[in-house]
Structure 1
Amino acid sequence: MRGTLPTRTVALVASAALLALTACSAGSSTSPGSSPGGDQSLSVGLVAEPASLDFTTTDGAAIPQALLGNVYESLVKQDESGKIVPSLAKSWTVSPDRKTYTFDLVDNAKFSNDKPFTAADAVFSINRVKSAWTVSLKSAMDVVQEAKALSPTQLQVTLTKPSNGWLFRMTTRIGAMFSETGVSALATTPVGTGPFTFAKWNRGDSIVFERNENYWGTKPFFNQITLKYFKDPTALNNALLTGTINVIGTVQAPEALSQFTGNDKYQVIEGTTNGEVLLSFNNALPIFSDIRTRQGIRQAIDHRALLDTCFAGRGKLIGSMVPPTDPWSEDLTNVAPYDLAKAKSLLQASGAAGKTLRLRLPTLPYAISCGQVVKSQLEQAGLKVVIDQQEFPAQWLTTVFKNADYDLSIIAHVEPRDLGAVFNAKYYTRYDDPTLQQYLAAADAGDEAAQIDNMKKAARRISEQAAGDWLFLLPNLIVADKNLKGLPQNAITENFDLTRLARS
Structure 2
Amino acid sequence: MHRDVRQGSKLSRRLRCGIAAAAFLLAAGTAGAQTLEVAVEASPAGLDPHIVTAFASSQIVLGPIYEGLTALDKDLNIVPGLAQSWTMSADGKTVTFKLRPGVTFHDGKPMEAEDVASSLRRVVSKDVGSPLASRLAAMESATAVDATTLELKLKEPSAPLLASLTGIAIVPRGLEANKDALQRAPVGTGPFKFEEWRPNGFIRLAKHAGYWNAAGVKLAGVKFNFVPEAATRAVGIGNGQFALLPHIDAATAMQLEGKPNVTMQKTQELAYTLIGMNVSKPPFDNAKVREALNYALNRKEIIDAALFGAGAPAAPLPPVLKDWAVEVKDLPCYAYDPAKAQALLKESGVALPISVSMTMLPRQDIRDIAQVVQQQLGKVGIKVELKNPELGQFVQDWRNSNFDLFASTNAGSIEPDDYFYRAFRTGGSTNVFKYSNPELDALLDKGRATLDKPARQTIYRDVQKILGCTGPAAHIAYPTLFSAVRGNLQGYQIYANRSLVSLGGASLR
TM-score range relative to shorter protein: 0.7 to 0.9
User: Is 2:49 the partner of 1:55?
Assistant: yes
RMSD between aligned alpha carbons?
Answer: 2.2
Of residues 81, 89, 99, the one that matches 2:93 is 99
User: Is 2:170 the partner of 1:176?
Assistant: yes
User: Equivalent residue for 1:435?
Assistant: 439
State how 1:390-429 maps to structure 2 within 5 Å. 390-392=389-391, 394-399=392-397, 401-416=398-413, 417-426=418-427, 427-429=431-433
User: Equivalent residue for 2:23?
Assistant: none
> In the superposition, relative to structure 1, how do residues 408 and 65 fare at CA in structure 2: closer, same or farther (>3 Å)?
same
> In the superposition, relative to structure 1, how do residues 38 and 269 fare at CA in structure 2: closer, same or farther (>3 Å)?
closer
Q: Report the alpha carbon displacement of residue 433 of structure 1 after superposing the two structures with TM.
A: 0.9
> 1:210–1:224: 8 Å Cα contact kept in structure 2?
yes
User: Equivalent residue for 1:4?
Assistant: none
> In the superposition, relative to structure 1, how do residues 175 and 144 fare at CA in structure 2: closer, same or farther (>3 Å)?
farther
User: Equivalent residue for 1:9?
Assistant: none
User: Equivalent residue for 1:486?
Assistant: 491
TM-score by length of 2: 0.86
Q: Which amino acid aligns with 1:55?
A: P
> In the superposition, relative to structure 1, how do residues 127 and 404 fare at CA in structure 2: closer, same or farther (>3 Å)?
closer
Counting helix residues as a fraction of each chain, which structure ranks higher? 2
> In the superposition, relative to structure 1, how do residues 192 and 207 fare at CA in structure 2: closer, same or farther (>3 Å)?
same
User: Is 2:469 the partner of 1:464?
Assistant: yes
User: Equivalent residue for 1:196?
Assistant: 192
State how 1:306-345 maps to structure 2 within 5 Å. 306-325=302-321, 327-335=323-331, 336=333, 337-345=335-343
> 1:104–1:154: 8 Å Cα contact kept in structure 2?
yes
User: Equivalent residue for 2:259?
Assistant: 263
State how 1:58-457 maps to structure 2 within 5 Å. 58-131=52-125, 132-172=127-167, 174-180=168-174, 185-217=181-213, 218-252=215-249, 254-325=250-321, 327-335=323-331, 336=333, 337-350=335-348, 351-392=350-391, 394-399=392-397, 401-416=398-413, 417-426=418-427, 427-446=431-450, 447-457=452-462
> 1:275–1:473: 8 Å Cα contact kept in structure 2?
yes
Structure with higher RCO (Cα < 8 A, 6+ apart): 1
Structure 2 unmatched runs, 5+: 1-28
User: Equivalent residue for 1:45?
Assistant: 39
Q: Report the alpha carbon displacement of residue 198 of structure 1 after superposing the two structures with TM.
A: 0.8
TM-score by length of 1: 0.87
> In the superposition, relative to structure 1, how do residues 203 and 497 fare at CA in structure 2: closer, same or farther (>3 Å)?
farther
> In the superposition, relative to structure 1, how do residues 492 and 327 fare at CA in structure 2: closer, same or farther (>3 Å)?
farther
State the distance in 2 between where 1:258 and 1:71 align.
31
Deviations 1:207-264 (A, max 9, x none): 1111112211143111111111222222222221232211110213x23434422223
Q: Which amino acid aligns with 1:419?
A: F
State the distance in 2 between where 1:133 and 1:494 align.
24
State the distance in 2 between where 1:355 and 1:233 align.
35
State the distance in 2 between where 1:213 and 1:458 align.
46
Task: Say which is worse superposed, 136-145 or 66-75, in terms of deviation.
Answer: 136-145
Q: Report the alpha carbon displacement of residue 65 of structure 1 after superposing the two structures with TM.
A: 1.6
State the distance in 1 between where 2:426 and 2:345 align.
24
Deviations 1:58-115 (A, max 9, x none): 4434333211222212211111222111111111111111111111112211111111
> 2:65–2:187: 8 Å Cα contact kept in structure 1?
yes
> 2:123–2:130: 8 Å Cα contact kept in structure 1?
no
Which one has a bigger Cα radius of gyration?
2
User: Equivalent residue for 1:32?
Assistant: none
The alignment-based identity, stated in percent, is 25
> 1:310–1:373: 8 Å Cα contact kept in structure 2?
yes
> 1:319–1:334: 8 Å Cα contact kept in structure 2?
no
Q: Which amino acid aligns with 1:422?
A: A
Q: How many residues align?
A: 466
State the distance in 1 between where 2:101 and 2:252 align.
48
> 1:61–1:415: 8 Å Cα contact kept in structure 2?
no
